[in-house]
Amino acid sequence: MNENSRLDRIEEKLDRVVETLQMLARIDERQDAFEQRLNRHELRLDLIEKDVNDHGEALAASTGKGLVIERAAWILFAAAVSSSAHFF
């Protein structure tokens, strides 16, 4: 009887160990899936960041060109006004 109860306790403990290992395996699978999703999001964020930087540089370049063109237009306008005031 003593041996049977001891074997039953060992069997119960082994069953608990098996359940715990199964839970750990599920947690590990979830962790792997989470890591894959996180890596995918990091890749997407890197691509978005690159696009934003490219667009920012293009906008800065076009804004600089626009300022030069605007300044040249004002200079031409001032020259036209001053020449018309000088001749008339």
pLDDT tens sequence across 2-42: 888 899 999 999 999 999 999 999 999 999 999 999 999 99
- What's the CA gap between 64 and 77, in Å, rounded? 20
What is the average pLDDT value for the chain, to the nearest integer?
92
pLDDT over 70 for what percent of the chain?
Answer: 99
pLDDT score for 1 = 65
- What's the CA gap between 16 and 64, in Å, rounded? 70
CA distances from 82 to 42, 49, 57, 77 (A): 59, 49, 37, 9
- What's the CA gap between 85 and 87, in Å, rounded? 6
